[in-house]
Structure 1
Amino acid sequence: MASINSRLQTVSSDLFIKYNSTERTYIESKITNLKANLIAWFGSSISEILVFGSYKRDTILPRKFDDYSDVDILVVFTNAEQERTPETYRTRLKKFADAKYPTSKVLKDHPSIVLEMNKIKFDLVPSRKSLSWFSNTYQIPNKSGYWMDTDPIGFNTAVTEVNTKYNSVVKPLIRLFKRWNAHNNYPFTTYDLERKIAEMNFSGDNHQKGFLYAIDQLSTSGLTLVGTQKVETLKTNGKWIKEYLERDNQEKAIEVTCRILGIMP
């Protein structure tokens, strides 16, 4: 009989966009095309195009498991462009996307321009670098129409480090909880959820122990009433999984786990 640990391993693998898969190959081809078009359109006005976010962390979900999966692209404009406002950059990126991808859906969505193709969405995020004697800091638009500092690489590094530290269970667990989040109409923003999971202590845990531990540790702080209810339901289901495991009923434990994730047992 399959164990809940092996089932979670299988599901987390299914939630990974595998290298050389059709979906990964398609995304990579679109990234290459997008970069070429950006360079051709903006020329020397941009200094860097950086792919970041969950795609680079290998925590992005296939679109069939998360309709909102997207690839984040940081479009860094040159120093000569720094006098322009964040909204000016966003408007220019929207004009670019409308012109180069006329059959795709294009819209403004803070802080980015969303370019939605048939099989993938791209978030084009305008950026500039704040230069000082000590460092070069990336900046992106904030909600007030000004600039805020960001570190598009730092969190990727942090997730990789904790994943290595905790026996490679952190990235699979992030994907599992992102699937729960998508299945429950996103109580958390995907970035906040990833950060919460990455900050947990999974020392000595396998997929099963880590999954149940993360359910217990997941905080409802800052959530809406509906979001809080979703998490409380998750915690109740986690208790049922533990109860079935204590009764040595792996079948029922797997059934509840699959119900949590919205997949077939």
Structure 2
Amino acid sequence: MTSANQWLANLTSLYTPTSTQFDKARSHRAAIEARLDVFLGIHEMFEIGSLRHGTGVWLHSDADYLVSLKGIQPASPWTMLSKVKAQLQARFTNTPIVTRTPAIVCKFSDCDVEVVPAYAAHNGYNIANPRGGWMLTHPKDHNSYVTAVNTRHNGAVKRLARQVKLWKYERNVPVSSCYLEMRTAKHMDGETAYVALWDLYLTLRKMRDTSLAAMNDPTGLGSRFGACSSEANRLEAMSKLNTAVDRALKAKDYAKEGFEDLAISQLRLLFDR
């Protein structure tokens, strides 16, 4: 009989991207980089987010790149976003190009690629804040932080982050993937050991208990991480999070009592399987 822990491990493995999943996205990088460098000027372009951190979810995660632009930072990030969007649309005339703050999304026929324009600042980067204005981010330091906590727990942090993101995607929860990843890493940073069902429950519960409040950058470097782009989205996310916490708790408790089938049924509900 399959245990709840085995079921969760199998699900996580199923949604772990292969090493070649993002090859198509990477194939578009050179054209994007060349266009922006010629017409706007760039300092560097590098991978960020799930692709870089190793927490991507098969069939759901996009390839994300940060582009550090040359020149003077404008007063409004919308100026920056509009310029980058216009250049990418001019280069890829038959490709839908949309704004999904803080990114410009190129919806290629074979994949989506998210380009996050930025200006270098304070050893990090200023990017557009979905709630307005600029926000300071340190993606390279964030990656180092997540990797360090993950290494300390023998790879468990990235598995747990993938599970929480899978819940977001499968249940259509309007919450930031970056926020989920950093909340997960922050939770595990304070733990001495990893217990799959217990830590899945605790990660969700801690976010519920904070009402999805913005969190301090755990590296102490950048702006606070916001969970949702609007209050309406936060309320919707909280409703789904309350349900998720209840199901994760039941799954944990049923498994502890030896009722593996009942635990798995709760996990199926949690992940809409």
- TM-score band, normalised by the shorter chain? 0.7 to 0.9
Of 53, 56, 60, the match for 2:49: 53
Inter-partner Cα distance in structure 2 for 1:136 and 1:89: 20
The alignment-based identity, stated in percent, is: 25
The counterpart of 2:81, out of the listed 74, 86, 90, is 90
Cα distance, 1:144–1:62 mapped onto 2, change above 3 Å: closer
Q: Relative to structure 1, is the Cα distance of residues 250 and 37 closer, same or farther in structure 2, using a 3 angstrom cutoff?
A: same
Contact 2:168-2:175 within 8 A present in 1 as well: yes
1:234 and 1:155 mapped to 2: Cα distance?
26
| Native 8 Å contact 1:187 1:228 kept in 2 | no
For 2:160 and 2:251, the matched residues in 1 are separated by: 16
SS of the counterpart of 1:173? helix
Structure 2 unpaired stretches of 5+:
213-233
SS at match of 2:201: helix
Q: Structure 2 vs 1, CA of residues 214 and 77 (structure 1 numbering), >3 Å: closer, same or farther?
A: closer
Q: Give the match for residue 66 of structure 2.
A: 74
Structure 1 residue identity aligned to 2:36: L
Q: How many Å separate the matches in 1 of 2:265 and 2:251?
A: 9
Counterpart of 1:166 in structure 2: which amino acid? H
The RMSD of aligned alpha carbons is 2.4
After TM superposition, the runs of 4+ consecutive aligned structure 1 residues lying more than 6 A away are none
Amino acid of the structure 1 residue aligned with 2:183: K
Offset of residue 145 of structure 1: 6.5
Residues in 2 aligned to 1:245 and 1:141: alpha-carbon distance in whole angstroms? 44
- Is the Cα contact below 8 Å between 1:114 and 1:122 reproduced in 2? yes
Match of 2:201 in 1: 212
With over 3 angstroms needed to count, the CA separation of the structure-2 counterparts of 1:150 and 1:213, relative to structure 1, is: closer
Distance of aligned partners of 1:99 and 1:257 in 2 relative to their CA distance in 1, 3 Å threshold: same
Q: Deviations over 1:169-201 (max 9, x none)?
A: 110111111111122221422121111111113
Counterpart contact for 1:87–1:145, Cα < 8 Å? no
Deviation at 1:120, TM superposition (A): 2.8
CA contact (8 A) 2:25 2:112 kept: no
Point out the structure with max Rg over C-alpha: 1
| Alignment-derived partner of residue 231 in structure 1 | 241
**Corresponding residue pairs, total:** 249
Which whole-Å CA distance do the structure 2 matches of 1:2 and 1:57 have between them? 30
How far does residue 232 in structure 1 lie from its aligned partner after superposition?
Answer: 1.8
| Worse-superposed segment, 89-98 or 204-213 | 204-213
Give the SS at the match of 1:199: helix
2:149 and 2:139 map into 1 onto residues whose CA distance is 17
Provide closer, same or farther for how the CA distance between residues 234 and 25 of structure 1 changes in structure 2, counting only shifts above 3 A: same
Residue 150 (structure 2) pairs with residue 158 (structure 1): no
1:184 and 2:184 matched = no
Counterparts of 2:210 and 2:68, CA distance in 1: 34
Structure 1 gap ranges (5+):
none
Task: Compute the TM-score of the two structures, normalised by the length of structure 2.
Answer: 0.80
CA distance in 2, matches of 1:84, 1:235: 42
| 2:10 maps to 1:18 | no
SS at match of 1:218: helix
Cα deviation digits, residues 110-154 of structure 1 (max 9, x gap): 233221123432222222223xxxx64322234687544221211
Please say if residues 187 and 230 of structure 1, whose CA atoms lie closer than 8 Å, have aligned partners that are also in contact. no
Alpha-carbon contact 1:169-1:210 (below 8 Å) kept: no
